[in-house]
Structure 1
Amino acid sequence: MAELDREKIQTKLAAARTRLILDKPFLGALVLRLPMTEANPDWCRTTGTDARHFYYNPEYINSLTLAQTQFMLAHEALHCALSHFSRRQHRVLHRWNLACDYAINPLLVEDGLTPPYDTLIMDEYKGMTAEEIYPLLEEDDSQETIDEHLYDENSEGSGEGGGDQEPPPQPPEQEKEKQQQPRPGDKPQPPPPLTPEERETQEVQWQQRLAGAAQQAIQAGKMDGAMARMIDHLLQPRLPWRMLLARYMTAAARDDYSYMRQSRRSQGDAILPSLHSSEVDVVVAVDTSGSIRDREIQEFLSEISALKGQMRARVTLIPCDASIPEDAPWIFEPWEELSLKTKISSGGGGTDFRPVFQWVEEQSVKPGILVYFSDLEGRFPELAPAYPVLWLVKGKEKPPWGQRIQLN
């Protein structure tokens, strides 16, 4: 490629970055944190990032419009700001890469950016995180991400996936630096994947950058819509769903005071409040409409079973799709293990949450808490009940009332 062409490409990249800074200060502030580095087309088809640089194929940038170039700059910056390089955990690499792109691209489109023609976008994943999208993807999905995720093993040609394998041992720092130093005549080499220590450092840095960029955009009055909701969610303290579930259930069963008369020998004539603990009634409802997998149901029930013994809870288990099965509900005492009595299959009638709440109302019993495991795609009662309701949610939907815990 001629020198003049390279200068033209560099000018296009600089112009796209400047336009983002002016029009999209949140994204612009993040893009500024990624130095732009020309990459070898042998390992970079389009653009990519290792959480430290923005890598680009000059020929690819030359084929884009200025608006599409803005999209690619913002795309790489969001991968970093959302810490996609550190959130994969046990997930298979290729599916995780696809899920990350499906999570990012709708945000950028809704924010007014123009994607290249081969960008992965599906309306059904709009507003979902990569963790929520991942289990919805086919295991053998052969699609390719629009970019290169260079912070992980097997990142070259993002159709490869070996996410459950242990990464090979990294060379000592001095040897790694020596390997990265270019020699005369060498073509630029792909960056090595992040070490565990580098992932941790980069995650902290990008979280700080995310918060700072959001604050600047809010002050400029240019932060709203899906991007604002996503940032607000990310900046909230996050706890594992098991920890949140335990917190809400134990709060419902916490000790209380009683004014019953105690023994005169210990209390005299005065009636003083004394702390006592009692058994709590918990209703656990499971959406069996087919959108929740058996493995996920068993994992959920195992967690409830472990908690109920600690808090002396008497659990009523209610499976429900559009109706409650004839042989349900089932009642479990604190010392009994919680499990489905029979194999539950979808009734084919969709999801309706009302039968569970109707059943509770007919019993004239006010439970300490009702926990409902569902994707929330169904019909709700018009009014919230008088007892606390906790929704453990798979998917992106939100309930009209009650407390929501995201299941990732």
Structure 2
Amino acid sequence: MMSKKSTPENPALKQFQAAVEIIENHPIFSPLCSRTSIVHRDGTPYPINGWATVTKGGYIYTHPKRRGETSEWVYVLAHCLLHLGLGHLITKDHPVAWNAACDLYIAKFLADLKLGTPPSDMETRTDMTVKDEEFLYEQFCVRGVPEVLKYFGTAGVANSDMDVRNTVARSYWGGEPEWEKYFAIGLSNAVTSAVSVAGGHSTSLSDSTNVKSAAQRAKRWFMDRYPLLGALASGFTIIEDQTISQRLSISVAAIDVVEREIYMNPAAGLTDEECIFVMAHELLHAGLQHHERCQGRDPYLWNVACDYVINLWLVEMQVGEYPKIGLLLDSELKGLSAESIYDKMVGDIRLYRKLATLRGNGLGDMIGKGDPSLWDVRNGQTLDDFCKNALQQGLMYHEEQARGLLPSGLVEEIRALGQPPIKWDVELAKWFDAYFSPLEKTRSYARVSRRQSSTPDIPRPQWVHSGSSEDGRTFGVILDTSGSMDKKLLAKALGAIASYAQARDVPFARLVFCDAAPYDAGYVAPETIADRVQVRGRGGTVLQPAIDLISHAEDFPKNGPLLIITDGYCDKLTIRREHAYLLPKGNELPFSPKGPVFRID
């Protein structure tokens, strides 16, 4: 069997690729290079007799058949990137003079920077005084372009290496990139790298560990200057890997709260200010516990509703810069909670399913690939405690340091996180209040009150309850007596029901025990329930016969309120809005209840 011939190695291509890698990791050119497209293949408008040309939109077309050393390609690529970073690609009355002035200025810049080696067919030496491009341009317009400057460009002798007419940009949102801003970021990176080298933390300026991305700088900005989200930001890891972003279908950003990871797609091309906005967006998802508040809602629509709220707050607070990527923003929804917005969206699901989050179309930027069981309370704070404490501490620092006003809705939600959850017995009391209002009292001479000693001959009426108002004043209780029910749970539930029934003047409650079959205990006075009830059954769980028994009983009000005490291990029930459930904390029903669910501690 004949073996396939291996593709011969291309030394010229290898030298070029090595140069591209050097430029990509250089602190000055890294921000520019990440937003440009270096095209090295046939069929492109590369210079026939030169090395490379650059367009206004950020495309660098290199000669695919040109043989050069790695250092020569580094010089050529840096030359083209500097045209972008220094704002050279503009229209002038004398384009030849302007191109020559820019080429001379860049040659001086690279000579001082000592980066790369000029190709043999390019000249870099001159006796002219180089102040800036405009000064040189004015001189060339008056005196003409010196002959020697025809060899300073990367497109060959007397050819322009800048294409101002081609404005097609490789950018996430389209439009004209801000090349000068990216170059300023690179210069800032270079200063940081130089300090790191001087301090002995790294060995060279091109060390990639010295170059902080926009996402890393945004995280540092929150930790240093924005205490509201600084504590949260310090607890999350920033992942900037284009391969991972593609695999997870992340267009711009996403967050995994359980794993404490924020994903930022480096190909999105966000500026520093836009990156601050996006990171604040993701951190607020975590701090406000949107992943926990979903509670059976459609995850994507809930994500969209939360996005609307967060984006309106961030624009109002002026945190960073609103990205030009079509984020969800609607001023008509200002002041509404995420729950309210979700309720509005449910009316037109088809429309809202077409909206895009920071992750992309039809995908939520709150992802949960992590396993909540990894958060062992023995390791310290739980996830919810960490997010709540970090955001509350940040709010305290923000107010103490007078860092500016915050939207009232955001402050209310943060403060609400600090309040302990409502106890189940308090929620149960509200349920009783909804069905059993206080009885009206009337004055009656049928039972005369105690006479006063000062006027013993004057009888006074007594306040009494109206007898007719007690008619139908009752509720049903279905008690799951299967073997899986905890005795302490039964005692807590029955005790609370008895006390609330007595406090609201409910004379009787219809009590039914049920496991595999219902056992009707009839009407029982609240004080009897509180004293002692003989529980019948301890078999399996089939609660529907008990519901049918009460619903069809002639002596029970039609659609009367019903309390079902169970541990959740039951079959699916025919449910009504009036049904309420008492469940052990952490247990779930095998269906979505219409009425309230009280979690017993």
Give the structure, 1 or 2, with the largest relative contact order (CA under 8 Å, sep 6 or more): 1
| Bigger CA radius of gyration | 2
